[in-house]
Amino acid sequence: KNQVEQSPQSLIILEGKNCTLQCNYTVSPFSNLRWYKQDTGRGPVSLTIMTFSENTKSNGRYTATLDADTKQSSLHITASQLSDSASYICVVSASANNNDMRFGAGTRLTVKP
């Protein structure tokens, strides 16, 4: 069973709308959680990195939240743009040196005009 579960699997929204992607994990111990954006045919690009003590971190229109007690994270995208169409991958590391990273299957987001 995957230790990082993402939902929804796919999402279609209209340009300008907001959306929230979910990531639930059972990885233990926990070191950090990252959200990556992966455009089709390209490698993932880091959006945010959060450690145990961080609850919220923003990167432009992207805001990630982390609840280490419930082992849940969300990625909120505000005022979506067509360029936000991509896969968003949640990655949880069990160790500080990232030797033990667990990947979610990703959420495929499509933003339509």
Partner 1 sequence: KAGVTQTPRYLIKTRGQQVTLSCSPISGHRSVSWYQQTPGQGLQFLFEYFSETQRNKGNFPGRFSGRQFSNSRSEMNVSTLELGDSALYLCASSLEGGTLESSYNEQFFGPGTRLTVL
* Residues lying near partner 1 in the complex (CB under 8 A): 31-32, 36, 41-46, 49, 51, 89, 91, 93, 96-101, 103-106
Which is closer to partner 1, CB of 37 or CB of 71?
Answer: 37
Give how far Cα 11 sits from Cα of 37, 49, 83, 101, Å: 14, 23, 14, 25
Residues 10 and 26: beta-carbon distance below 8 Å:
no
Q: For residue 98, how far is the Cα from the chain centroid?
A: 17
Q: Give least dist CB 11 to partner 1, A.
A: 17
Q: Give least dist CB 81 to partner 1, A.
A: 22
Which is closer to partner 1, CB of 70 or CB of 99?
Answer: 99
Q: Give least dist CB 31 to partner 1, A.
A: 6
Which is closer to partner 1, CB of 45 or CB of 79?
Answer: 45
What is the Cα–Cα distance from 61 to 109, expressed in whole angstroms? Answer: 15
Which is closer to partner 1, CB of 1 or CB of 42?
Answer: 42
Q: Give least dist CB 109 to partner 1, A.
A: 16
Q: Which of 70, 45, 73 has the alpha carbon at shortest distance from 57?
A: 73
